[in-house]
Each structure stands twice: as C-alpha cells, then as structure tokens.
Structure 1
Amino acid sequence: MKLVKLIANLGYGSRKEVAAMFRDGRITDAEGEVLYADDRVEHDAIRVDGAPLDPPAGLALMLHKPTGYTCSTKDPGRVIYDLLPSRYRLRSPLLSPVGRLDRDTSGLLLMTDDGQLLHRIVSPKSHLPKVYEATLASDLRGDEAAVFAGGTLMLESEKTPLAPATLEVLGPRRAWLTLTEGRYHQVRRMFAAVGNHVEALHRPRIGGLALDDLPAGQWRALGAADLQRLFESAVP
C-alpha cells in the first residue's frame, strides 16, 4: 500500500492533506530523514511530526468507559471517540465498539477495526463471560440467583429464554452478574423482571480481560497475549 493511502486510512487526513504533509517534511523515518510518498518503509519506522505512526489495521484496544458517554459516532452529546485520539474516529476500516455499554453504564469496552475478531468476540458460539457489578434500588429478595441460573427467565418482548447466568451477592443491594450473551439492556431488564431496579452498572471484565488499574476514561492497545487471555475464559 502506498504511504499516502496508508497514512490517510489511519485518520491523519485526506489523501490530499497527507500529500501536503509529505511536501512539508512532516513525515520522516525513525532517524529523522524526510520520507517521500513513493518510499518503501516498514510501518514501525514511520514518524509523523516525530511521533510513531499509529498501529496498522487490525488494531484492538480496551477502554475504561465512564458514565455519560455513548457508543456512537453521531450522538450530539459525549461519545467514546472523544476519549481517543481524534484521528481514531476517521480510521478506515472503522474502529468500532465490540457490543455496547449504554450511556449510564461504565466499565470495560473493547474496540477493533478487525471484522473477524469482532465477530468472534460477539458470536454466541464464543460464550465469552461478561461480568457486571450492579447496585440496586432495593434489597435482593434471595431467590434471584436461582431464577437467573435456571435458563427459563423470559424478558418482556423476547421469544426465547435467557441462557443461565451466575449471580454472586456482594451485599443487600450489590451483586456481580456473569452473562454469556448480550441482549439489549440485559442486566437492567433481568433485575426488572425480578422486581428490582439497577441504579448503577459497571462492567469490570470480559472473558480473561479485566480493567485492573486502568483509570476511567483511559485506554490501551491490546497485544496478542491480551487477545489470547480474552478467550481463555470462554465457557465450553
């Protein structure tokens, strides 16, 4: 791929704008030598204004999404792309969220421009466990764990029962809920089905990946070891 197209696809600008960056000497190699549009250079050796070129297509990252942000490119309010370098929303192929967390839910969100990886993560066949911490409006009544684990719970407007889910009680109004599917607003609707209301919701873990000490609003790229760990906790 020609350097102009490569750099434009990473969101640095249109092809015309990137061509102007070459003319202005803003694109160099690791030693600071000015590059030209027809040069052949390894990706890792390219610098833009002295900074390493962003990762190539196939990027995957984890983001600690705060509340108040939507998983969208067009919402008039705050969106997850506001937490990333501005050019990341212009990458081609598109850097997309893997599933969604609603505006009022915080926690681990995966993003990738790798369509095969995205499909593998969201596929029901992967059975990736997703852990949510729910803070509830009312005390747990005591039978929720059995109801959620039974595999027979039907949500309003749904035609098939939910897959069994695991509930771990943390306190009278706090619990961890582990799911292996991802229906619309599933955690909130599950607690509503047993007569409760979720006041706060946080997702600390997907598969073998956890937020750990990643602060809210921060992100990091995922390597091969991270992706391997992600799938290690898939339910057989």
Structure 2
Amino acid sequence: MKLVKLLANLGYGSRKEVQRLIKSGAVTDDEGNALAENDLPPHESILFRGEELDPPAPLVIMLNKPDGYTCSSDDPGSTIYDLLPERFAHRNPGLNPIGRLDKDTTGFLLMTDDGKLLHKIIHPKSGCWKVYHVTLDRPLEGHETDLFSSGTLMLNSESKPLLPAKLEVLGDKEALITLHEGRYHQVRRMFAAAGNHVLELKRISIGGLKMPDDLEEGDWRALDADELAAVFPATRN
C-alpha cells in the first residue's frame, strides 16, 4: 500500500488532498524527514504534522458515551461520531458501534471497523455478556431476580422469550443486570414488565472487560491486545 492510500483510508483527506499534503511536507518520519507518495515506513514512525498517525485497520476503540448522544450517524442531533476526530468519519473501512446504546443510556461502548469481530462480540454465544448499572423509579419488590433469570420472560410485541439474565440488587432502587443479548430497549422493557421504570442506565462492562475508571465521559481510546482478549473471557487460556 502506498502512503497516499494509507492516509486516505485513515480519513486524512481524499487521495488528491493527501497528495497535496505530502508534497507540502506535512507527512514526515519520526526523524523529521519529509516522506514521498511511494514511501511507506513502519506505521508507528509516520507523523502527520508532527503527530502520530491514527491506528490502522483493524481498529477497536472504547468510548464512554454521555447522555444525549445517539449511535447512528443518520440521526439528527448529537451522535457518538461527534466525540471522535472528524477524520474518523472518513475512514475506510468505517467505524461502527458494537451493539448500540440508546440516546439516554450512558457508559461503555466499543466501536470497530472489523465486521467479523463486531458480529462475534454481539452473538449471544460469544460469552460477551453486558453489565448495566440501573437506577429505578420505585423500590424493587423481590420477584425481579427470578423473573429475569427464568428464560421465559416475553416482552410486548415479541414472539421469543428473553435469554436468562442475572440481577444483582445493590439497594432499594439500584441494581446491576447482566444480559447475554441486546434487544431494542431491553433493560427498560424488562423492568417495565416487572412494573418499574428505569431512571438511569449505564453500561459498565462487556465480556470480561470493564470500562476503565480513568476513561472520562465523552473520551475514547484504542484497545490494546490484552484488553481485546479480555472481552472474550470464555476463550482465554
């Protein structure tokens, strides 16, 4: 792959725009030497205007999603893509969320440009369960744990019961819920079926990977190899 194609695929501009940037000296190696179109040193040694290049594909990032952001670039208003560098919208292949969070749900979101990995993580048999912290409008009544773990709970307008889910009660109106699937508004609909209403919902982990404490709301970073492996606890040695 030529340097022009690499930079274009990473979203730094069209091929013509990238060619102009290279000719202007905006792309150098880590020793300050200007690079030409046909050069392609190791990725980690390429600098764009003095900054390291974004990671190449395949890429997986973690994002701490704030309230009020949707997970689709087609939706009006604020989207998760507004939290990323603008050039990320032009990457090829593009980044997609691995299981969406509702507009008013916050917390741990993974995104990737690897379609096979995306489908592997969201498949119910992958072992990549999702854990949510739930704040409720009314106190728990005590029947919810058995109801959610039964494997027989049927949501309105659906013909297939939910997979068993684990509920860990933290307080009268506070709990952790672990899901092995991701249906539309699932947690909110589950508690509605139990006669309650979710006030706040935050995803805190996916598989064996918890959202880092130092990942501030609205921030993101790329996963390293160990973090990606931790997503699949059932396959680890």
* TM-score, normalised relative to structure 1: 0.96
RMSD (Å), alpha carbons: 1.1
1:134 CA drift (Å) = 0.9
Q: Are residue 66 (structure 1) and residue 66 (structure 2) matched?
A: yes
Query: Does residue 77 of structure 2 align to residue 84 of structure 1?
Result: no
Please tell me whether the aligned partners of residues 127 and 181 of structure 1 are also in contact (alpha carbons under 8 angstroms): no
Unpaired segments ≥5 residues, structure 2: none
> Which structure 2 residues correspond to residues 224-235 of structure 1 after superposition, within 5 A?
224-232=225-233
Partner of 2:37, secondary structure, is: coil
Distance in 1, matches of 2:48 and 2:210, equals 32
Deviations 1:123-162 (A, max 9, x none): 1220311111111111111100000011100001111111
Aligned 1:1-236 pairs, distance under 5 A: 1-213=1-213, 214-232=215-233
Q: C-alpha distance in 1, partners of 2:229/2:117?
A: 12
Instruction: Tell me how far apart the structure 2 counterparts of residues 162 and 36 of structure 1 sit (CA, whole Å).
Output: 56
Q: Structure 1 CA distance, aligned partners of 2:216 and 2:48? A: 28
Q: Which residue identity is paired with 1:150?
A: S
Q: Is the 8 A contact 1:129 1:233 kept in 2?
A: no
Partners of 1:154 and 1:47 in 2: CA distance? 54
Query: 1: CA distance between counterparts of 2:80 and 2:154?
Result: 31
Question: Identity over the aligned pairs, expressed in percent?
Answer: 59
In structure 2, distance between residues paired with 1:39 and 1:175: 55
Q: SS where residue 102 of structure 1 aligns?
A: coil
What is the CA–CA distance in structure 1 between the aligned matches of 2:76 and 2:187, rounded to whole Å? Answer: 26
Rounded to whole Å, the distance in 1 between the matches of 2:50 and 2:216 is 27
Question: What is the CA–CA distance in structure 2 between the aligned matches of 1:169 and 1:120, rounded to whole Å?
Answer: 30
1:129–1:180 Cα contact (<8 Å) kept: yes
Task: Supply the AA of the counterpart residue of 1:225.
Answer: D
Provide runs of 4+ in structure 1 moved above 2 Å: none
